[in-house]
Structure formats: C-alpha cells, structure tokens
Amino acid sequence: MRICILGATGLVGRELLTLLDRAWPGAERVLYASRDQTLEHGGESFAVHAAAKLETEDAPRGDLAFVALDDQYSARYCPRLVDLGYRVIDKSNTYRMDPDVPLVVAGVNHRRVDDSVSLIANPNCTTIPLTLALEPLRARFGLGEVTVSSYQAISGAGVAALDDFIAQTAAGFAAMAESGDRLGEGLDAANYPGNTVPHAGKTDDSGFSSEERKLINESRKILELPELGIGAQCCRVPVTVGHYENVWLELREPTTAEAIAEVLRVAPFVSYLPGAEGAELTALATLKRRDSALVGRLRRDNRDQDGRRWCLTVAADNLRLGAATNAVRAGSAWFGGEDPSLRV
C-alpha cells in the first residue's frame, strides 16, 4: 500500500504522518510539500518532494492520498492524484459543498465512502466534533434548531500563525511584567496574543463570516438536514490547540438529561464528561484525548418549557480529531487499518 501526504510539512500533515504508523504501519509513505526538503518528525528524517513532481509523466501511482493544502492547490492537485489511482481525502474547503463529493465525518456518515467514490472532503475542524455530538441526538430524539458559539485555537490558522502567536505572546507578556502593565495596553488590539478576535474570513452581505458559513452549511450536508435551523458565531481565542463550542439545541421530542447522557456515552468517537460544572472540559484537556470529541456541561436551557431545549459544550483537538484523525478514519472505510480506534 502506498500512501501520499500532500502538505506533509504543515501542522495537520505532521499529525497524519504520526497516525499512519498506527493505522497502516507497513505502508509506503510518499510526502510532498511546496519544495524539495527534509522533514524531521518523531525522531525520523523524511524526504519531502516538491508537489510539482506529481504533474510529471513518471509521477508514482498509489492507493490513498491525504491533501492538506489551501483551496487553490487542492483544486490543482486532487484531480491529478485521482488520475494517478489514489483514493483522495481533501482537507480544504474546495470540494466540501460540491454535491458530487461526499463530506464525511467518521462515525456520522462514513457510509458514503465506498468503491464508487474516489474523492471525499474532510469537514472544517469545528464541524467534525459538533456533528459527532449532534448525530446521535438527531437519531434518537430528532433535531430542531441549533445555535453554536465557537472559540477556536490559533493553530487552526496554520503553522506560521501559531509560531508568530507563541513568539509574540512570550515577548508581549514579558514586556507587561517588566512595565507593570496588568491590562495589556501594550499588546496589539488587532492581533491574537492576550486577545479574542473575530475570524478574518470574508463576510457575506448578511455579515456572517466564512468560518460561520462553513459550520452552518457543512453541518446541514453531513446530517442530511438541508433545512436545519442553525446559527453560528465564531471567534479566535489565544490558546494554541483546542476548539471549543457552546451549543444550544432544540430536540423534536421531549426528554431528560439522563436520557441524553446515555445516548452520548455510547456515541462513536465521543467522550462524554458528566456534570454540568464542566470538569475536565477545557481546551488543553483535548490534548489528553486527541482523537475524541469531549462533550459535557449538559444542562436544561433555562427557557425550556417541555424538555426539548438543552445546552452543552463540545471541545476537540482541532489538529487531530478536527482534521487528521477524521481523515484517517474516513480512509479506513476504503482500506481498513490496524488500530481499532482509527477504524470505522
């Protein structure tokens, strides 16, 4: 088996490389990025080839490809990889809303991955954990309206943004300590350190950002509820890893907290954390359970009249469950895998 990672030197590409050792330990790995280089990862050195080599006549054929690139490059290279015989999983936004391309969350709709499909899309890093929490509730109680407020880590903006954030945070807080600036007046009000900011994605005429549109439209497609009433507001918060979502939902059927908890306890790839206080439900806690959606803080909405309106919190490692882990699990629908926790 030959597996390609295109975008191997990025944050998600590196996580994919780690997971391949668990899922398909005997597979040959071919790695590509913007240029020829050597990648040091996990105590090993890997040869990384320039992506342009995939466009040559003698480009190697293969079995499974993961593409972790920006939209314009995904549009360029995904069709080429399919031509080379690969089953392709694309992380970008390029194909997510294409009606001919399955948008797949393992544990929700991986039945869409079969031998008739050569290309699938990996959803946004907030959509994956959200739909893992919503789907079992939809299946048991029916789903009415959903409102989501997300607080997303800097790593979701890429390795360059993350490295800048770490450096600027260290320098900015050191300067605060030296000057006695307890409020952060010396920090940049338009930047990430010590701050919360709206996503920089383009807004449409209604004022919703691209990140908010992704969460809304992708959830409808994955859950196969095109008319789902769902609203979202997304912001970036000054943490390195761990996307956090507060969710207000309305169910079709009235129920109890105990019944909802029982459903979530057995939901695929969900770690249900009991207790409305949210113990162990933090951004950094996602690093302890990197391949699960942490779901907790379940409580009845104070506006509820009949047991149908509830509140809960969903958190996940955006680099792993929100990207690499879901992609590997989706790939297992085609090629199986050695690690049961990475199979569907």
Q: Which of 258, 225, 246, 232 is nearest to 142 (CA)?
A: 225
CB atoms closer than 10 angstroms to residue 152:
24
**Position 321: which residue type?**
L
Biggest alpha carbon distance in the chain? Answer: 66
Alpha-helical runs (H) found in the chain = 11-23, 71-83, 127-141, 159-179, 210-223, 257-265, 325-335
d(CA 214, CA 223): 14
Alpha-helical runs (H) found in 180-256 = 210-223
- List C-alpha distances in Å: 277 to 272, 280, 281: 13, 9, 9
Q: Considering Cα of 94, then 337, then 61, then 28, what sign does the dihedral take?
A: positive
| Pairing mode of beta strands 243-251, 28-33 | unpaired
Q: Are 215 and 127 in contact (CB under 8 A)?
A: yes
What does the buried/exposed string (b/e) look like for 79-118 if buried means 16 or more CB atoms within 10 Å of the residue's CB? Answer: ebbeebebbbbbbbbbbbeeeebbbbbbbbbbebbeeebb
Residues classed as catalytic:
125, 243
d(CA 262, CA 235): 31
- List C-alpha distances in Å: 194 to 159, 164, 278: 19, 13, 23
**Position 253: which residue type?**
E
d(CA 41, CA 218): 32
| Cβ partners under 8 Å of residue 185, min gap 6 | none
